[in-house]
Amino acid sequence: MVQTLDDDGTVDPWRRRARRTRRQMPLWQELPLLLVVAFCLAVLIRTFLLQAFFIPSGSMEDTLLVGDRVLVNKVVYDVRDPLRGEVVVFRGTDRWAPQVDDQPKPGVAGRLARTVGDLVGVSRPGEKDFIKRVIGLPGDRVQCCDSQGRVTVNGTPLNETYVLRDSPLDLPPNPAECRSRRFDEIVVPPGQLFVMGDHREVSQDARCQGPVPIDNVVGRAFMVVWPSSRWSALSVPPTFEDVTGPATASPGAPPVRPTPQGGVLLMLPLAAALRGSRAFRSVLSSRAT
């Protein structure tokens, strides 16, 4: 064990007495403190870094299935804007209809559990939370279809191997719903994204509900974490590497936003609380021996 010594090589009795005093907190008092600290850490991580989202509908099948949980990186778009092919979680505009299955209203205990789940990021999504794939960036020209029935971005056709159930080609476009595969060319406005679900037959997306402001994006979904049998990364399909165009120089696009520092500042008091914990001190002492 590392000890603090005086100049003459003896152990400082005041430091030894103070250390003994700190260790007198009983476990039944220390355990609730650790639980509170752990809860606060979970809230901070959910607010600034990562959040788990529950998939409530089949609009992203078979990439994401109903009941899957994905991890969403909430920091990445503070240093850059989204890229084509990424799967993003966002808040829909007033035009976006909810795609959350109807659920009975919970009782008092259910509402309390949902509130706690919201704080730590494990509850069901809200009615305005959506998850889709980015197809077009600001300034891109998106339309469907080419001679092979493919979506094109800036004239480049996408080979969307992740789309297993596409919309029918024989249905005429309908601005009120997204059942048709065909839609006229759309120039994505500055500061917005053109997003689509991977299950085109049921996905209500930018084809009929309009683009999504980049500022509404919560973060990038980068991994399926539950159920464990479906652990996988949500990578960008290679077909998007072939797309070129004016998106990177779109006039009026929002500037790169700075990374928030509030989470770092809020972590300081929690670190101080952990430092006073007997369990935490025991870890430190074990590393120092």
Cα of first residue to Cα of last residue in the chain, in angstroms, is 5
- Cα 96 from Cα 151, distance rounded (Å): 22
Hey, how many other C-beta atoms are within 10 angstroms of the C-beta on 136? 26
Hey, how many other C-beta atoms are within 10 angstroms of the C-beta on 159? 14
Evaluate if residue 64 carries a pLDDT over 60. yes
Evaluate if residue 245 carries a pLDDT over 50. yes
pLDDT of residue 264: 37
Across-strand partners of 2?
none
Residue 63's pLDDT band (cuts 50, 70, 90): very high
Catalytic residue among 57, 74, 132, 250: 132
Residue of higher predicted confidence among 208 and 108: 208
Catalytic residue among 57, 59, 180, 250: 59
- Model pLDDT for residues 28-51, shown as the tens digit of each residue: 667 776 666 666 665 555 555 688
- Tokens for 13, please give them: 């009795």
Evaluate if residue 140 carries a pLDDT over 90. yes
The most confident of the ranges 44-48, 206-210, 259-263 is 206-210
Q: Provide mean pLDDT across the span 163-170.
A: 89
- Model pLDDT for residues 76-116, shown as the tens digit of each residue: 998 999 999 999 999 998 888 765 544 455 555 544 444 44
- Cα 90 from Cα 119, distance rounded (Å): 18
- Strands of the sheet containing 183-187, edge to edge, are 156-157, 151-153, 141-144, 183-187
Helix, strand and coil in the chain, % to nearest 5: 30, 20, 50
- Cα 196 from Cα 193, distance rounded (Å): 10
pLDDT of residue 174: 79
In this predicted structure, which of 41-55, 118-132, 178-192 has the lowest mean pLDDT? 118-132
Q: Provide mean pLDDT across the span 60-82.
A: 93
Evaluate if residue 265 carries a pLDDT over 50. no
pLDDT of residue 256: 37
Q: Provide mean pLDDT across the span 165-190.
A: 88
The helix or strand, by DSSP H or E, that contains position 86, with its residue range, turns out to be none
The helix or strand, by DSSP H or E, that contains position 220, with its residue range, turns out to be strand 217-226
The helix or strand, by DSSP H or E, that contains position 27, with its residue range, turns out to be helix 27-48
Q: Spell out the residues 6+ positions from residue 129 whose beta carbon is closer than 8 angstroms to its own.
A: 53, 89, 90, 91, 92, 100, 218
Tell me whether residue 167 is one of the annotated catalytic residues.
no
Evaluate if residue 134 carries a pLDDT over 80. yes
Q: Yes or no: say if 149 and 155 are a contact pair by the CB < 8 Å rule.
A: no
- Cα 278 from Cα 30, distance rounded (Å): 8
Tell me whether residue 74 is one of the annotated catalytic residues.
no
Burial annotation 102-124 (CB, 10 A radius, 16+ → b, else e): eeeeeeeeeeeeeeeeeebbbbb
Q: What are the angstrom distances between the C-alpha of 196 and each of 84, 86, 135, 143, 172? A: 11, 11, 7, 12, 18
pTM check: above 0.75: no
Q: Provide mean pLDDT across the span 245-263.
A: 44
